[in-house]
Homo-oligomer: A and B are copies of this chain.
Amino acid sequence: MKISADRIANIERSKIRKIFDRAPKNAINLGLGEIQFRTSKILIDYAKNILDNETLKYTPNGGLTELRQKIAEYYTINFDENVCVTVGAEEAIFATLFSHLNPNDEVLMPNPAFIVYDSIVKMLGGVSVKFDLDATNNFRINKKFFLQNISHKTKILILNNPSNPIGISFTNDEMDFIVNECEKRDILLIVDEIYRDLYLQNRPKSFLQMYENVIVISGLSKSHCMSGWRVGWCISQNAELIKPIIKSHQFICTCAPYLSQKVAIKALSLENTEIREKLRKNYDFARKFIEIKIPNLKIIEPNSAPYLFLKTDSDDMQLTEKLLQHGVIVMPGSIFGTNGKTFLRLNYGLEKNILQKGLEIIAKNI
């Protein structure tokens, strides 16, 4: 018996997970893309209240209407059929590509970028085309690199903004440029904005209102430390882009968990300053620590938490291995694309005393 479909045969397990799985027990985790704080007590208490008073049943496939409205409100767009609630942003990315990408379609994406985009495109029989962000200029957009790779064959452009692994956001000029180039070629723009609410100074602008044919993806895993709750969404000004996603989402997993959807309504009703403040303090601490004690790591100035993308003098894969053996997990930049070579991604979203221990181990071993 042939054991799997061809679409799976060439897909590796996530390299992030593979590194994580090889870590020694009790390793300090500055690697995975998870904020290691608890969900806020207000939300926990709210969840307990729902458990006592409601029946946890199937929701409509696209999500509870109240949640869909709340999400639309967050982006200040009128709610019609513009939102599909998903099982985290991951399912939003999968269902969006599954619903809009045909085999052999070209998908343009940055190098480096979140590694999942490339894997999903490949599984769906699409062709990933990558444009280099400018490593010599803090990973800003280089118009030449971009225009060399976009073409009338480009069906979809997928971006993350703010960027994972870099932690920076596009400038207004960059955003105008991107949207303009998509409009010219009638390209579907997918923007993963999962880190948008973890800004360090000001909330970056969303792509949502800039272009009719954009699908914005987000969720509460990062902003509200709700990774294990599995709730995310995709949204567009153009409801016609969301309808096929709701259709496929129904066959992928029926609906997102009831309790998580209920708690998401509450979460979106509250100011989310506490987690941002905590991350901001960790950022200040980690930055200072690195500048003083690990000066051979150069920081790319981020505007959103929880990542530092650090330039090293050496091979990032070897460095990651060495640190792993000393009990600290970080991610080598090159798993996010060739352009991330010699960089390390460090997640400072964990309790400060553990973060400090991790940084001290790095300082000693780098």
Contact = CB atoms under 8 A, between A and B. Distances in A.
Interface string A157-169: 0000000000000
Given A14-B250, A119-B251, A227-B57, A98 B257 contact: no
A59 B230 CA distance: 11
Interface stretch (A99-107, A139-147, A321-329, A331-339): A99-107
A253 B8 contact: no
B59 A11 contact: no
Interface in A78-101: 86-88, 90-91, 94, 98-101
B94 A17 contact: no
A52 interface: yes
Most B-side CB within 10 Å, residue of A11, A39, A253: A253
A58 interface: yes
A255 interface: yes
B8 A244 contact: yes
A134 interface: no
Contact of A52 (B11, B32, B44, B228): B44
A260 interface: yes
B250 A230 contact: no
A56 B227 contact: yes
A151 interface: no
Given A48-B48, A120-B251, A228-B57, A101 B5 contact: yes
A252 interface: yes
B56 A228 contact: yes
Number of copies: 2
Interface of A: 1, 3-8, 11, 13-14, 17, 32, 34, 36, 38-39, 44, 47-48, 51-52, 55-59, 61, 86-88, 90-91, 94, 98-102, 116, 119-120, 123, 186, 188, 213, 226-230, 240-241, 243-244, 247-248, 250-260
A261 to B, nearest CB: 9
Nearest to A61: B17
Contact of A99 (B5, B94, B226, B247): B5
A206 B253 CA distance: 24
A250 B51 contact: no
A347 to B, nearest CB: 13
Most B-side CB within 10 Å, residue of A119, A252, A256: A252
Contacts of A51: 44, 47-48, 51
Closest 7 CB pairs of A and B: A228-B258, A56-B228, A4-B244, A91-B253, A87-B253, A8-B244, A90-B254
A48 B50 CA distance: 10
A119 to B, nearest CB: 6
A94 B186 contact: no
